[in-house]
């Protein structure tokens, strides 16, 4: 099976790039299933029902969340009615689910959403949650498992890879919005520390630069805004799984000017 993964979609510019290019990518890269992170999709903070429907129509199959999952009040109902996940390591009783199994090319594919500890909201231990979920999936005979690890700390993402690289198919890092160049297939697990944002690329992590600069200069709070017009980018990881193992992985970048590049090819480590 061939899987596409898009990291944090930031605001209208990110959604526009997905609408404009994802169906083309599904055809050109022969994608069977597409995962994306929604937590910044509606003006940078959470996701609305309207924008969720927009992104699903554009060709996304399931979306994962993170620390901004709860920013829109309507999300509680959407988590029950749409293929939207929230981090699985929120405490028991929180609405929604952090893992879902899909049938892709007559084979089960599990998508898991986790959130790290450092500089993030209070949640349960993501490593213990990951082990519990992977044990459950293996007992069900699910071999193809993709994890979105939404975390600030690179060490948490790397540690998850070291712990699960022989048991899951892919670990995709999200949250920092800055794409990393460490795409690797390690013992059959595709891994990147951060997939990078899809949205504005000419400011500060997809947001207008004025407020971030003021905050760094003064320490005073301010609300981030997503510009209506900017130079945008779509970043997508393309992976191929065979019998639960990643056998190929690469990254494509598409710019709003229409330029496309093969940004990164996975190094294979045995």
For the stretch 260-269, pLDDT in tens is 999 999 999 9
- Burial (Cβ within 10 Å: 0-12, 13-18, ≥19) of residue 189: buried
Q: What is the pLDDT of residue 228?
A: 85
Which of 128, 206, 134 minimizes the C-alpha distance to 167? Answer: 134
All residues at 6 or more sequence positions from 23 whose CB lies less than 8 Å from its CB, including other chains = 58, 59
Q: What is the pLDDT of residue 270?
A: 76
The two tokens of residue 130 are: 């990951």
Catalytic positions = 68
Angstrom distance (rounded) from CA 216 to CA 109:
43
- 180: Cα within 13 Å, side-chain hemisphere: 17
Q: What is the pLDDT of residue 156?
A: 98
Residue-level length of the chain = 270
Helices (H), 140-259: 154-164, 210-218
Any bridge partners for residue 131, and if so which?
none
List Cα–Cα distances, 47 to 74, 98, 174, 205, in angstroms: 9, 16, 16, 17
Q: Per residue of the chain (270 residues), what is the pLDDT tens digit?
A: 999 999 999 999 999 999 999 999 999 999 999 999 999 999 999 999 999 999 999 999 999 999 999 999 999 999 999 999 999 999 999 999 999 999 999 999 999 999 999 999 999 999 999 999 999 999 999 999 999 999 999 999 999 999 999 999 999 999 999 999 999 999 999 999 999 999 999 999 999 999 999 999 999 988 899 998 899 999 999 999 999 999 999 999 999 999 999 999 999 997
Helix 154-164 crosses helix 126-139 at what angle (to 10 degrees)?
A: 30
CA 216 to mean position of chain CA atoms:
27
Q: What is the helix (H) or strand (E) element at residue 141, kind and residue range?
A: none
Angstrom distance (rounded) from CA 113 to CA 123:
13
The two tokens of residue 210 are: 């004025």
Question: How do residues 45-78 score in pLDDT, each as one tens digit?
Answer: 999 999 999 999 999 999 999 999 999 999 999 9
Angstrom distance (rounded) from CA 233 to CA 221:
28
List Cα–Cα distances, 185 to 142, 166, 190, 240, 262, in angstroms: 20, 11, 4, 11, 17
The CATH architecture to which 2-269 belongs is 4-Layer Sandwich (3.60)
Q: What is the pLDDT of residue 223?
A: 86
Q: What is the helix (H) or strand (E) element at residue 55, kind and residue range?
A: helix 49-57
Contact 41, 72 (CB under 8 A): no
């Amino acid at each position: 099976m061939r899987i596409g993964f898009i990291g944090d979609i930031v605001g209208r510019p990110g959604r526009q790039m997905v609408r404009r290019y994802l169906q083309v990518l599904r055809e050109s890269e022969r994608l069977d299933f597409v995962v994306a992170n929604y937590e910044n999709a509606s003006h940078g903070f959470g996701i609305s029902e309207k924008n969720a429907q927009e992104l699903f129509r554009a060709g996304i199959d399931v979306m994962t969340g993170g620390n901004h999952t709860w920013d829109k009040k309507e999300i509680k109902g959407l988590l029950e009615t749409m293929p939207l996940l929230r981090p699985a390591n929120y405490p028991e009783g929180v609405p929604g689910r952090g893992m879902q199994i899909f049938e892709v090319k007559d084979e089960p594919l599990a998508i898991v959403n986790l959130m790290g500890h450092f500089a993030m909201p209070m949640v349960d231990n993501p490593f213990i949650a990951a082990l519990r979920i992977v044990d459950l999936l293996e007992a069900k005979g699910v071999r193809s498992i993709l994890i979105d690890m939404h975390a600030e700390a690179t060490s948490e993402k790397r540690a998850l890879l070291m712990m699960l690289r022989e048991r899951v198919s892919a670990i995709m890092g999200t949250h920092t919005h800055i794409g990393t160049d460490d795409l690797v297939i390690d013992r059959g697990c595709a891994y990147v520390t951060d997939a990078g944002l899809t949205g504005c690329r000419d400011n500060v992590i997809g947001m207008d630069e004025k407020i971030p600069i003021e905050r760094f200069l003064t320490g005073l709070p301010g609300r981030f805004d997503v510009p209506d017009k900017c130079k945008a980018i779509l970043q997508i990881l393309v992976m191929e799984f065979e019998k639960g193992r990643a056998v190929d992985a690469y990254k494509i970048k598409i710019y709003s000017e229409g330029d496309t590049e093969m940004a990164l090819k996975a190094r294979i480590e045995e």
